[in-house]
Amino acid sequence: MTFEHVTVLQKEAVDLLNVKEDGIYVDATLGGGGHTGVILSRLTTGTLYSFDQDETAISFNKEQYKDEIAAGKLVLIFNNFRTLKESLAERGVDHVDGVLYDLGVSSVQFDQGDRGFSYNHDAPLDMRMDQRQELTAKTIVNDWPFGDLVRVLTRYGEDRFGKAIARKIEQHREKAPIETTFDLVEVIKEAIPAPARRHGGHPAKRSFQALRVAVNDELGALEDSLGQALELLDVGGRISAISFQSQEDRLIKQMFKEKTAEPELPRGLPVMPDEMAPDYKLLTRKAIKPSEKEQEENHRSASAQLRGIERIRLS
């Protein structure tokens, strides 16, 4: 099996974790195993738990890291990272020294045409990261009400033509189901005015992103998982999170801000009492971006943003 995936911000994301050789770490998004490999190289007696809901990624890494798995240094978990706390508890883990997130779709998922993630390959409208789940993009496109389609396309794709696209989808599916990615691309092109199609990249890009996020409940899963990760961190433990779309980055930024915000002191109180101090501190005031060299070598890295947070005390 081949699994060609270029890991974005590979060194920077792991450096931000400040890996301890005997620590307990989580790679919440295993993918091609790029970040997992770097973390493993920095562990001696420590353990890494790597999650993925995509069976292809699990199968590939079972072979790639078979020695580390046999030695108990790496544990693969075939599950959505929103089960973080539960899945770790099942393995006797109730605190960790670091969690890494590399969000979005892997290059392999995009490039495997039959998965339906890409508007460049003609395939059934699928877009499931976890092939065990029932909901597909085809179900959303053909069965969801007009209002829900508008919500998905505008909220998750931030597409100003979301309403027009939803209306065109509604018109087409009344005649016949929209079955494939190329069928959907043609419908989207019909809905967007010709002058607008000449700018801003592929006309279906935002709609395909929106449907993928909806199919996999990506933002809901991220919010659930990140909340659990923050709770699981030991003192000195860190989270390193790479996002590729503005909504993910806003969610991470907001959750980190809430955890590190200092309360307003009452007048006349010169020093903040320890019990009022935040339990976490930001590691990144501004998001870390890939270097120009990395962006030139891997155009998919251009939108990546890396943020970090550290737990500094227990309440």
CATH number of 163's domain: 1.10.150.170
Q: Is 33 part of any known ligand binding site?
A: yes
Length of the chain: 315
Is 131 in the same domain as 203? yes
Q: Is 34 part of any known ligand binding site?
A: yes
List of E strands, the chain: 24-27, 47-52, 74-78, 96-102, 233-243, 280-282, 305-311
Percentage helix, strand, coil for the chain under 3-state DSSP, each rounded to 5 = 45, 15, 40
* Alpha-carbon separation of residue 105 from 6, 52, 118, 121, 218 (angstroms): 12, 12, 10, 15, 10
In a domain, 190, yes or no: yes
CATH number at residue 285: 3.40.50.150
Residues of the chain with pLDDT under 70: 1-5, 106-113, 264-275
Beta carbons within 10 angstroms of residue 277's beta carbon: 13
In a domain, 97, yes or no: yes
Q: Is 81 part of any known ligand binding site?
A: yes
Residue 1 confidence (pLDDT): 47
Is 267 in the same domain as 290? yes
Q: Is 35 part of any known ligand binding site?
A: yes
Is 212 in the same domain as 127? yes
Is 160 in the same domain as 302? no
Is 175 in the same domain as 154? yes
Is 209 in the same domain as 123? yes
In a domain, 245, yes or no: yes
Is 151 in the same domain as 190? yes
**How many structural domains comprise the chain?**
2
Query: Taken in order 84, 221, 59, 20, is the CA torsion positive or negative?
Result: negative
In a domain, 88, yes or no: yes
Is 180 in the same domain as 234? no
CB distance 249 to 226 below 8 Å: no
Is 232 in the same domain as 93? yes
Distance, CA of 149 to CA of 163 (rounded, Å) = 8
Beta carbons within 10 angstroms of residue 145's beta carbon: 10
In a domain, 109, yes or no: no
90-122 pLDDT per residue, tens: 999 999 999 999 998 766 666 666 788 999 999
Distance, CA of 145 to CA of 118 (rounded, Å) = 24
Q: Is 102 part of any known ligand binding site?
A: yes
Q: Is 202 part of any known ligand binding site?
A: no
Partners of 310 in the β-ladder: 238, 281
Is 270 in the same domain as 239? yes
First to last CA, the chain: 47
Residue 271 confidence (pLDDT): 60
In a domain, 114, yes or no: no
In a domain, 82, yes or no: yes
Query: Taken in order 237, 5, 54, 66, is the CA torsion positive or negative?
Result: negative
Residue 300 confidence (pLDDT): 79
Note down the domain range covering 240: 10-102+218-311
Cα dihedral 182→188→192→197 (10° resolution): -30
In a domain, 112, yes or no: no
For 94-114, b/e burial (b = at least 16 CB within 10 A) is: eebbbbbbbbbbbbbbbebee
Q: Tokens 């790496």 label which residue?
A: 74
**What are the φ/ψ torsions at residue 75 (nearest 5 degrees)?**
-120, 120
